[in-house]
Amino acid sequence: MLILLVNPSLNGQNVLYKQVELSTTTGSTQYFLSEIERQTNIVFSYSNQLCFQEEHQLTMQLPTVRQLLDALFINCPSNYIVRGSKIIIQPIDGEPQKFVIKGYVLDSSSKEALIQANVYEPELLLGTMSNNFGFFSISMPKGFVHLSSSYVGYKNGHHYINLERDTTVYFMMEPKAELDEIAVVGERVPGAVKSTRTGTIDVPIEQIKKVPVYLGEVDIVKSIQLLPGIQSGGEGFSELYVRGGGPDQNLVLMDDVPIYNASHLLGFFSIFNADAVNNVRVIKGGFPARYGGRLSSVIDIRMYDGNNEDFKGVASIGLLSSKLAVEGPLIKDKSSFSVSLRRTYFDVLTSVWQLKEVDKSRYYFYDFNTKLNYKLSDNDRLYFSAYLGKDQYGISYNEQFIPVESPDGKQTEQTVKTYDESDIGWRNYVGSVRWIHTFGNKLFANTTLAYSDYRFFIDQTLNYMSDGVWSKGSQNYYSGIRDLSAKIDLDYMPSPKHYVRFGGSAISHTFYPGIDVVLREIAGSTPVDTTFGGTAMHRPEFRFYVEDDFHLLPRLKVNMGGHFSLFQTESGKYYWSAEPRLSARFLIKDNFSVKMAYSQMTQYMHLLRTATVAMPTDLWLPVSDQIAPMRATQNALGFEYEISKGFNVSLELYYKKLQDILAYKETTGYFDFASDWQSKLTVGNGESYGFELLVHRKMGNLTGWFGYTYSKSTNQFDELNNGKAFPANFDRTHDISIYSTYQFSKKVDMGVTWTFGTGNPITLPETKYYAPQLPTAEANGNATYNQLINERNSYRMPNFHRLDIGFNFKKEKRWGSRLWSVGVMNSYGRQNPFFLYFADSENEQTGEVTRSLKQFSLFPIPIPYVRYTVKF
């Protein structure tokens, strides 16, 4: 190994990086040293112990000085000490001493952490990655070290360090102008230092923001749906179906805290305000041991910490909502904050034109994100983050005028107008406190206390006369899940060849299956509050993991680990699971690798679904003595070829088995409250396999991806479909997603998405037959015939495809910049099916009645959008 010792004041202009042009590739050590001296004015000094060879056969023609010296002294490791234009060459005796370089990779202007940035020594091929806080640590041999950092959308950062002790460095990365195509080439991260992961996609947030979207609402989840292997539940919905798994099998994390319902407006929009999001990572397979609890995917979303340098803001007005995000330092170099708020204004506008209406309705949703951080010391930082989000639809009706009593209890002629009110909605409240601490130079700890509370609610308030007194009664129904958790994650980086992660968590889940609260308030008396209905279920869960990312061979990098968990049921019994996780990457060439992964996952809670589409009434429930945890095993084999920096092609094959998955029996359903929920469910297995092709370009004027998925997902339940296997609900054989943005100039860019998918499976009856009025029916039923279903999901809806186009027009202003975003969704007006049904229709002229299968489409015509954004 060759070590360079140089004056610390040297930087990128170091003489070692001067280029030398070789007229011949054959010659003695002395000849090549002289050639360097002749071309670069460098003077060499060396001892007589240095090994000189009579003949070298080199393959380089335009090497740097360092590359040439490395080649000349490959058989006798030497230090190079640089003194101005003089280089002293000293042979090394024994193993070189090592020191730790730790630090952070940050955005130069905002000081935001850059997550999963590569940090590496380009010549020694040693490297690591920054963690979720931008932190890295790497051990390097004493002497001169050239440390680089690379992150998509940023210029590469470099540090040249004379390493004589443990050192802290900060990479202040500068964003790169997209129009600068040339800079993209030639700064590729060496393959040896890159990730081992399969099934993992990092989507740059800037790409997400340019995806054309319904009503101009930037939506992270809808962008994720465009990735191969991931499907939406139906047109317009923000659900995720990953590799044959259901929507409850995705672990959605917002700054390490699980989110149980990530949608607004009945699933049409996700709760993540893109202005507050720093990083999005999607894991579909090859799960690292640090993640657990869901079978099919992990969506790891990291929010901005807040600009440490300046006050910055983004404000935006759209058709549906307005947004404001502000961030800045609180105490210079100590503390910063970020706050973002999004709210719709249906209710404000509808209230104006409902002024003269007797009955009034309103709908709104909002998101509020905030994050504060405080630097306690160089090794300690405290984070506080919170998310509040709510959807509420309400109506006011039954206008009444209540007489006002005078203080002496007599009725006056004055009246107060009141309404009866009904509201339905759902909300997420999430909060966390995190403390990060570095123990020494190699151990990084993230300790989190988190609170997550999801509720669905229905409220009703009524005014009525009771015994001549005006009274108020209210009822509230709610269901949901509340988590309190404590968690510690430790990153240990003993050497550049190992990255060890370990940790554990304890979670106290409280499931609220459905609780009624009745409040009765009679004027002049104390309100009476009664709670009844379902009882809260408390369930503890414990998790532990350990994993190591390490080089087994120079070309073979492995991530191996295990995830262990315990979950308590109602009787005090514990379910447990020990899940091995393994992924490996073998470098065939520096830019071509083959990857494989094996993982097992266990899930202790499931979503009792109301319908085949997302509904707010969907209910999270735990495993029980009767209902065992769902389990999944996944194998994957992948190939990845890096065409150039930030431009990759990957092909991945996967096979997934699901055990003990749940479905409703065929003779029951969500609203069958006459049956205990556990007895309504039946247990079965699932299987999914396929391959996914992704061509992803993250940098340059033309960015985006092409994704193709071939997949087959089936389920088998003894009690469904006569025990025969049937296509999973959202099995999609072919799925194509093309997303592209083109930057015409600094002012104008265009985004286009085109998606195609095989129609979703659907169950259709083929036969009808007589249905009598039963002799004991309380009420006459509507149906005069019954429908017979022969096979489940045996038909497919028509194929789905859609083109969305959007433009962004940006203009720099004295105070910042403004952005107009306009576009058209479903540009060619494709009528995609939302659901199918049978209906009779009568020919008005002949009176002939015919019956046909009809398709209902949700967004059948081109839908324009516009949004105005200012950055200041």
Partner 1 sequence: MLLKRLYIILLTIGVLACEKDIELDLNTQSDKLVMYAFIYPDSTLNFHLSKSRSILSVEDFGQVEKGRFQLFVNDNFQGAYILPSDTTWSKWPEFTFRSGDNLRINAYELNGDTVKAESYIPQAINILDLDTLSVVQDVADNGTVQMLKSKVRFQDPGGQNNFYQLLVIREGWGTIGSDPYYTRKTIIYDKDDAVFSQGDQSGSLLPGIDFQGLFTDAIIDGKTYELTIYIPRDNLFFDYYEDKIRITYYLYHHTFDYYSYFRSIILADGYGGFYEGLPVFEPVKIHTNIQNGLGLVSGMNFDSDSLVFEK
How far are the Cα atoms of 99, 119, 149, 335, 445 from residue 170, in angstroms, in the given order?
Answer: 16, 11, 10, 17, 19
- Residues numbered 729-788 forming contacts with partner 1, rule: CB under 8 A: 763-772, 774-779, 781-788
Which span sits near partner 1 by CB under 8 A: 43-51, 409-417, 635-643, 861-869?
A: 861-869
Say if CB 685 and CB 656 are below 8 A apart: no
Question: Distance between CA 316 and CA 167 in Å, rounded?
Answer: 43
Q: Hey, which residues between 62 and 91 contact partner 1 (CB under 8 A)?
A: none
Candidates 25, 30, 414, 466; binder of partner 1 (CB under 8 A) is: 466
CB within 8 Å of 43: residues ≥ 6 apart = 37, 85, 86, 87
Question: Can residue 513 be called a binding residue for partner 1 (CB under 8 A)?
Answer: yes
Q: What angle do CA 33, 36, 38 make, to 5 degrees?
A: 110
Residue 479 beta carbon to partner 1: minimum distance, rounded to whole angstroms: 7
Check the CA dihedral 582-588-593-594 and report its sign.
Answer: negative
The interface mask with partner 1, positions 668-707, x = CB under 8 A, is: xxxxxxxxxx------------------------------
> Which of 362, 606, 792, 830 forms a contact with partner 1 (CB under 8 A)?
792
Closest CA to 364 of 338, 384, 344: 344
Burial of 150 (0-12, 13-18, 19+ CB in 10 A): buried
Whole-angstrom distance between the N-terminal and C-terminal Cα of the chain? 50
Nearest distance in Å: CB 294, partner 1 = 22
CB of residue 715 to partner 1, shortest distance in Å: 12
Q: Tell me which residues in 336-365 interact with partner 1 (CB under 8 A).
A: 346, 349, 352-353
**Binding partner 1 by CB under 8 A: which of 404, 449, 748, 861?**
861
Residue 486 tokens read as 């404590």
Exactly one of 28, 351, 475, 495 binds partner 1 (CB under 8 A); which one? 475
Tokens of 758: 């095989």
Burial environment of residue 157 by CB neighbours within 10 A (0 to 12, 13 to 18, 19 or more):
buried
Query: Which of 38-46, 457-465, 633-641, 750-758 is the region at the interface with partner 1 (rule: CB under 8 A)?
Result: 457-465
Closest of 834, 840, 835, 830 to residue 863, by C-alpha? 830
Q: Which of 706, 710, 807, 859 binds partner 1 (CB under 8 A)?
A: 859
Q: Please identify, among the stretches 85-93, 603-611, 638-646, 735-743, the one whose residues bind partner 1 according to the rule CB under 8 A.
A: 603-611
Which residues, 6+ apart, have CB-to-CB distance to 517 below 8 Å? 475, 476, 477, 478, 529, 530, 531
- Which phi and psi (to 5°) does residue 519 adopt? -120, 125
Instruction: State yes or no: residue 521 binds partner 1 (CB under 8 A).
Output: no
Binding mask 103-122 for partner 1 (x = CB under 8 A): --------------------
| Site size with partner 1, rule: CB under 8 A | 105
Q: Is 402 in the site for partner 1 (CB under 8 A)?
A: no
Interaction residues for partner 1, span 529-568 (CB under 8 A): 533-535
Query: For residue 439, how far is the Cα from the chain centroid?
Result: 29
Q: Is 377 an interacting residue with respect to partner 1 (CB under 8 A)?
A: no
Q: Which is nearer to partner 1, 51 or 783 (CB)?
A: 783
Q: Which of 80, 337, 620, 664 binds partner 1 (CB under 8 A)?
A: 664
Angle 741-746-752 from CA coordinates, rounded to 5°: 15
Distance of CA 723 to the CA centre of its chain: 36
Taking the C-alpha atoms of residue 588 and residue 595, their distance in angstroms, rounded to an integer, is 10
Told to check if 795 binds partner 1 by CB under 8 A, we report yes
Q: Among 168, 474, 510, 716, which residue interacts with partner 1 (rule: CB under 8 A)?
A: 474
As measured in angstroms, the least distance from the Cβ of 410 to partner 1 is 24
Here the tokens at position 98 are 């090592």
> Of the listed pieces 7-15, 142-150, 471-479, 539-547, which binds partner 1 according to CB under 8 A?
471-479
Type and span of the H or E element at 418: strand 411-439
Q: Which of 71, 402, 443, 462 binds partner 1 (CB under 8 A)?
A: 462
**Close Cβ partners of 740 (under 8 Å, ≥ 6 residues apart):** 702, 703, 704, 751, 752, 753
Q: Which of 182, 355, 553, 849 binds partner 1 (CB under 8 A)?
A: 849
Among 207, 278, 344, 479, binds partner 1 (CB under 8 A): 479
The pair of three-digit structure tokens given for residue 205, joined into one six-digit string: 């947030």
Nearer to partner 1, 562 or 862 (CB): 862
CA atoms within 13 A on the CB side of 295: 32
Name the residue nearer to partner 1 (CB basis): 378 or 840.
840
520 belongs to the binding site for partner 1 (CB under 8 A): yes
Determine if 525 is a binding residue for partner 1 (CB under 8 A): no
Question: For partner 1, which is the closer residue by CB, 125 or 863?
Answer: 863
Between residues 234 and 646, which has the closer beta carbon with respect to partner 1?
Answer: 234
Distance CA 631, CA 629 (A): 6
Report the nearest approach of partner 1 to the CB of residue 828 (Å).
15
DSSP β-bridge partners for residue 371:
338, 385
The H or E element that residue 40 is part of is helix 29-40
Q: Is 823 in the site for partner 1 (CB under 8 A)?
A: no
How many CB atoms within 10 Å of residue 102? 21
Q: Of the listed pieces 17-25, 180-188, 288-296, 851-859, which binds partner 1 according to CB under 8 A? A: 851-859
The reply to whether 852 sits near partner 1 by the rule CB under 8 A is yes
State the minimum distance, in angstroms, from the CB of residue 621 to partner 1.
Answer: 9
Output the smallest distance, CB 809 to partner 1, in A: 20
Asked if 129 and 117 count as a contact pair (C-beta separation under 8 A), the reply is: yes
What is the contact mask toward partner 1 in residues 154 to 183, using x (rule: CB under 8 A)?
Answer: ------------------------------
Q: How many CB atoms lie within 10 A of CB 328?
A: 17
Give the x/- contact pattern for partner 1 in 202-221, rule: CB under 8 A: -------------x------
- Could you tell me which stretch among 243-251, 279-287, 453-461, 636-644 binds partner 1 (CB under 8 A)? 453-461
CB nearer partner 1, residue 190 or residue 244: 244
- Measure the CA–CA gap between 241 and 355, rounded to whole angstroms: 43
Query: Residues 234 to 293: which contact partner 1 by CB under 8 A?
Result: none
Q: Rule CB under 8 A: say whether 523 interacts with partner 1.
A: no
In this chain, which of 123, 368, 798, 799 binds partner 1, going by CB under 8 A?
A: 798
Binding part of the chain for partner 1, among 170-178, 437-445, 690-698, 852-860 by CB under 8 A, reads: 852-860
Q: How far is the CB of 842 from partner 1 (least distance, A)?
A: 10
Residue showing tokens 């002395």 = 30
In this structure, which amino acid lies at residue 199? Answer: G
Residue with tokens 């130079």: 441
Residue nearer to partner 1 on the CB measure, 58 or 517? 517
Q: Binding partner 1 by CB under 8 A: which of 299, 301, 515, 597?
A: 515
Tell me how far, at minimum, the Cβ of 229 lies from partner 1, in Å.
24
Q: CB within 8 A of 332, min separation 6: which ones?
A: none
Q: Could you tell me how many residues make up the chain? A: 872
473 is a contact residue toward partner 1 (CB under 8 A): yes
Q: Report the site for partner 1 in 294-333 (rule: CB under 8 A).
A: 319
Rounded to whole angstroms, the Cα distance separating 374 from 436 reads 10
Q: What is the CA radius of gyration of the chain?
A: 32
Phi and psi angles of residue 817, each rounded to the nearest 5 degrees, phi first: -155, 160
185: β partners: none
**Site residues (CB under 8 A) for partner 1, limited to 417-436:** 424
